[in-house]
Amino acid sequence: MDRRSFIKKAGVAGAGAAAATALAAPAIAQTMPKVTWRCSSGFPKALDTIYGAAEVFAQAVSEATDGNFEIQVYGAGEIVGALEGADAVRDGTIEIAHTASYYFFGKDPTWAFGTGVPFGLNQRMTNGWLYEGGGMDLLNEFYADNNMIAFPAGNTGAQMGGWFRKEINTVADMQGLKFRIGGFGGRIIQELGVVPQNIPGGDIYAALEKGTIDAAEFVGPYDDSKLGFNKVAPYYYYPGWWEGGVTLMNLINLDKWNELPSAYKGVVKSASALANSVMMARYDTLNPSALKTLVSEGTKLRPFSLEILESCFAAANKVYAEIGAENAGFKKIHDSYMSYRGDGYLWFQLSEYNMDTFMMIQQRGGKL
Give the integer Cα–Cα distance in Å for 48 and 42: 13
DSSP structural state of residue 178? E
Say if residue 109 is preceded by a cis peptide, omega within 30 of 0. Answer: no
In a domain, 170, yes or no: no
* Pair 114, 154: CB distance under 8 Å: no
Q: Does some domain include residue 152?
A: yes
The model's pTM = 0.89
> At a CB cut-off of 8 Å and minimum separation 6, what does 312 contact?
118, 119, 188, 189, 192, 241
- DSSP states of 190-254 as a string? GGGT-EEE---GGGHHHHHHHTS-SEE--S-HHHHHHTTGGGT--EEEE--TT-SSPEEEEEEEH
CA 337 to chain centre: 17
Q: Is residue 46 part of a domain?
A: yes
What pLDDT score was predicted for residue 183? 76
315, part of any domain: no
At residue 343, φ and ψ (nearest 5 deg) are -70, -35
Domain membership of residue 123 as a residue range: 34-156+245-284
Domain membership flag for residue 332: no
Which candidate, 149, 123, 122, 153, places its Cα nearest to that of 138? Answer: 149
> What pLDDT sits at residue 341?
98
> For residues 148 and 139, what is the distance between their CA atoms, to the nearest angstrom?
10
> Does residue 16 sit within a domain?
no
Give, in order, the Cα–Cα distances in Å from 253 to each of 41, 92, 349.
15, 6, 40
Q: Give the model's pLDDT for residue 11.
A: 44
- The domain that holds 259 is classified in CATH as 3.40.190.170
Asked if residues 57 and 271 have their Cβ atoms less than 8 Å apart, the reply is yes
pLDDT (tens digit, 0 to 9) for every residue of the chain, 368 residues total? Answer: 444 443 344 444 444 444 444 444 455 556 789 999 999 999 999 999 999 999 999 999 999 999 999 999 999 999 999 999 999 999 999 999 999 999 999 999 999 999 999 999 999 999 999 999 999 999 999 999 999 999 999 999 999 999 999 999 999 999 999 999 977 999 999 999 999 998 888 899 999 999 999 999 999 999 999 999 999 999 999 999 999 999 999 999 999 999 999 999 999 999 999 999 999 999 999 999 999 999 999 999 999 999 999 999 999 999 999 999 999 999 999 999 999 999 999 999 999 999 999 999 999 999 99
Count of residues for the chain? 368
Exposure string for 231-266, b = 16+ CB within 10 A, e = fewer: ebbbbbbeebbbbbbbbbbbbbbbebbeebeeebee
Nearest Cα neighbor of 95 from 32, 33, 36 is: 36
| Whole-angstrom distance, CA of residue 219 vs CA of residue 145 | 30
Report how many domains make up the chain.
Answer: 1
The answer to the question of residue 366 being in a domain is: no
| 254 assigned to some structural domain | yes
* 315-332 per-residue burial string, b: 16 or more CB within 10 A, e: under 16: bbeebbeebbeeeeebbe
Count other C-beta atoms under 10 Å from residue 29's C-beta.
11
